[in-house]
């Protein structure tokens, strides 16, 4: 560690020292870049950090600052318009006023978070406006160069993108100089521009804190704090077309195959350590009943004892419509699916209210809603920019539509095999993204009118049970409609004869898009060793598909409750899962699973925080 008051200095990578060079604006000499320089660049890029902690008060040398700005000014730009400007702020009074603006936005953001997430957020340092000796505001002028700037006609936002290139050059050059940079995004742009007295046509692209630091952290600060994880490169590279993943020169990647390969059995050693610890806690052995068993399972999932607390938690509500609705299996109209999605997005559905009570985040995934879903507020800022619904998605909605509802499974397969695979991968990616963003427990949710019919067909197919035993009343249908629903399930199974040894084939024949996505969601959680709480019969049906694809995935599933739907009990028995709650629930949405969340979290907390007899000085039971 560098001692306080000393600077890490320029990045020295033997046998070269990286130092930016001010290139003449008139004559540019060819630059020879050899292996040493190439290696040095990649090391600098890998060592760059978004710095929030550890700035030193020492002034930044003017020559070094000029070199850093010169590097920024050499960035590529649309039509060589160089739309950026750099406003350097050193005055402490000015920075104090700006820091107050950032603090207001920080608190406004915290108010939008579920309370466990807000608590963790308030413990984070997110800016160093006062600690760093130099602040730099990078602006973009979309009018620079006049009307006919090459490359800006079709994409007027290219001016801002160009300014971001300048920011990246600045950041790399600063790291090479041994200077830390922190990007502050907790500003309302219009408030900031007004406070700085900027001309009205300018856009603020970045507010940067710059200065010497005591040390550069070995990893991003948000990773080290546990707030987020880094996303692997392999998730982000698509070859030829979207979704065709694979690193250059490597074999094409399969998201499903990679996920299945990453799932390992729960850790038996961690489970045994948890059992041993339960016996040492200041309570009679077994006195917490199933809570103790649950804590052992959580330790096995995580591979450590005690396990990490399963918080913050996120509920993913996967929504899709069903072609079998045309068979009259429910009195509810199909448009209710889209209407309920709007209810979720307004945070006024049952799952939202319970999630707010227990501190869980709710996101909605449109994997197959037949209707167009409501768009959010228009966030476009320039003329000629796309104003379609995909550009203005409502907050909290993930638009991942595979198709507009399934086909009628009594007439044809509900979806193609390729569509089933695509929906599974939607679920895998949703799990990955939520965990990468910091969630430590995932919860299943669902929405789709007629989805209990597809659930019954899936459960019957995977368990070999007669449809009459696993088909429930869903939203509360009468005897006549229930008998018809059983017949519909039977006819679909007779038509397709799905093979439970082919889980994707079963999903394609009689499943729903939300079932397929939920199956992927469960697999994604298992691959990341994160517990996932099942809701009712829809999640149970999806769990059968997930476990058919990877038997070890069952070790990461927690049954949130026992639904009154008969197929749910049959599934829990098949999977060997004991429900946390049994409250005669049958709503869906994720409501029962979210209700179980505090119990699951308590199981982990008890194992972690309750004192042992030795540590508390309490006498144990006499033999």
Q: Which residues are known catalytic residues? A: 589
CB 400 within 8 A of CB 393: no
Element containing residue 69 per DSSP (H, E):
helix 62-73
Please tell me the distance from the alpha carbon of residue 164 to that of residue 399, in angstroms, as a whole number: 27
Angle at 218 between CA 215 and CA 219, to 5 degrees: 125
Please tell me the distance from the alpha carbon of residue 463 to that of residue 190, in angstroms, as a whole number: 59
Please tell me the distance from the alpha carbon of residue 398 to that of residue 393, in angstroms, as a whole number: 8
Please tell me the distance from the alpha carbon of residue 581 to that of residue 589, in angstroms, as a whole number: 16
Rounded to 10°, the helix 503-510/479-496 angle is 130
3-state secondary structure 517-555: HHHHHHHHHHHCCCCEEECCHHHHHHHHHHHHHCHHHHH
Which token pair is 501?
Answer: 């040894």
- Bridge-partner residues for 317, per DSSP? 364, 445
What one-character-per-residue DSSP string does 257-302 give?
HHHHHH-----HHHHHHHHHHHHHBSS-TTTTTHHHHHHHHHHHHH
CB 95 within 8 A of CB 130: yes
Q: Which residues contact 210 (CB under 8 A, 6 or more apart)?
A: 60, 65, 68, 132, 133, 134, 135, 136, 174, 179, 180, 181, 182
Dihedral, CA of residue 108, residue 113, residue 117 and residue 118, to nearest 10: 30
What is the number of other CB atoms lying within 10 angstroms of the CB of residue 107?
12
DSSP one-letter code for 169: H
What one-character-per-residue DSSP string does 467-502 give?
HHHH---TTT--HHHHHHHHHHHHHHHHHH---TT-
Dihedral, CA of residue 275, residue 558, residue 598 and residue 606, to nearest 10: 10
Give the E-state strand segments of 213-260 in sequence order: none
Q: Left, alpha or beta for 312 (phi > 0: left; psi -120 to 50: alpha)?
A: beta
- Tokens 């509900």 -> residue: 414
Please tell me the distance from the alpha carbon of residue 116 to that of residue 61, in angstroms, as a whole number: 42
Rounded to 10°, the helix 350-358/591-609 angle is 10
Dihedral, CA of residue 472, residue 446, residue 571 and residue 476, to nearest 10: -10
Q: Which residues contact 100 (CB under 8 A, 6 or more apart)?
A: none
């Amino acid at each position: 560690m560098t001692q306080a008051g000393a600077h890490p200095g320029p990045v020295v990578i033997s046998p070269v020292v990286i130092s930016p060079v001010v290139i003449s604006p008139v004559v540019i000499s060819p630059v020879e870049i050899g292996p040493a320089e190439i290696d040095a660049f990649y090391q600098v890029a890998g060592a760059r950090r978004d710095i929030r902690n550890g700035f030193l008060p020492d002034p930044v040398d003017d020559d070094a600052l000029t070199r850093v700005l010169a590097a920024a000014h050499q960035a590529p730009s649309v039509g060589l318009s160089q739309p950026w400007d750099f406003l350097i702020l050193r005055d402490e009074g000015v920075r104090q006023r700006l820091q107050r603006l950032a603090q207001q936005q920080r608190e406004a953001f915290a108010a939008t978070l579920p309370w466990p997430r807000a608590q963790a957020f308030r413990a984070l340092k997110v800016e160093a406006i006062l600690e760093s000796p130099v602040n730099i505001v990078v602006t973009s002028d979309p009018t620079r160069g006049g009307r006919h700037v090459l490359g800006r006609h079709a994409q007027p936002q290219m001016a801002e993108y160009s300014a971001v290139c300048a920011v990246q050059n600045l950041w790399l050059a600063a790291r090479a100089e041994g200077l830390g940079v922190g990007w502050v995004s907790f500003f309302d742009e219009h408030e900031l521009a007004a406070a700085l007295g900027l001309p009205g046509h300018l856009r603020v692209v970045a507010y940067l804190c710059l200065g010497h630091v005591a040390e550069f952290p070995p990893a991003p600060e948000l990773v080290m704090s546990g707030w987020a994880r880094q996303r692997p490169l392999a998730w982000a590279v698509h070859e030829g077309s979207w979704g065709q993943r694979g690193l250059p020169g490597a074999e094409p990647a399969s998201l499903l195959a990679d996920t299945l390969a990453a799932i390992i059995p729960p850790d038996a050693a961690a489970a045994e350590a948890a059992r041993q610890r339960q016996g040492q806690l200041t309570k009679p052995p077994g006195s917490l009943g199933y809570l103790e068993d649950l804590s052992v399972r959580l330790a096995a999932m995580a591979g450590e004892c005690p396990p990490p607390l399963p918080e913050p938690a996120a509920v993913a509500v996967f929504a899709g419509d069903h072609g079998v609705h045309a068979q009259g299996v429910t009195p509810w109209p199909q448009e209710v699916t889209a209407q309920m999605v709007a209810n979720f997005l307004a945070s006024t559905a049952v799952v939202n209210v319970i999630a707010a009570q227990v501190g869980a985040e709710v996101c909605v995934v449109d994997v197959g809603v037949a209707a167009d879903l409501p768009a959010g507020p228009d966030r476009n800022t320039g003329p000629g920019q796309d104003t379609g619904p995909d550009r203005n998605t409502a907050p909290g909605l993930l638009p991942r539509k595979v198709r507009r509802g399934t086909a009628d499974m009594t007439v044809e397969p509900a979806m193609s095999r390729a569509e089933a695979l695509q929906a599974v991968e939607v679920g895998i990616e949703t799990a990955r993204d939520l965990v990468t963003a910091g969630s430590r427990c995932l919860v299943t949710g669902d929405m789709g009118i007629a989805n209990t019919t597809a659930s019954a067909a899936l459960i019957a197919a995977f368990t070999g049970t007669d449809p009459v035993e696993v088909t429930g009343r869903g939203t509360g249908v009468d005897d006549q409609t229930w008998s018809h629903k059983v017949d519909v399930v039977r006819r679909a199974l007779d038509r397709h004869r799905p093979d439970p040894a082919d889980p994707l084939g079963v999903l394609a024949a009689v499943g729903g898009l939300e079932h397929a996505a939920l199956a992927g969601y469960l697999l994604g959680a298992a691959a990341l060793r994160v517990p996932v709480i099942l809701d009712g019969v829809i999640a149970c049906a999806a769990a059968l598909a997930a476990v058919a694809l990877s038997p070890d995935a069952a070790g990461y599933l927690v049954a949130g409750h026992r639904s009154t739907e008969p197929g749910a009990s049959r599934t829990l028995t098949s999977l060997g899962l004991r429900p946390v709650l049994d409250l005669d629930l049958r709503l869906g949405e994720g409501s029962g699973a979210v209700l179980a969340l505090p119990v699951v979290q308590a199981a982990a907390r008890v194992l972690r925080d309750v004192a042992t007899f030795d540590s508390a000085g309490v006498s144990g039971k006499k033999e």
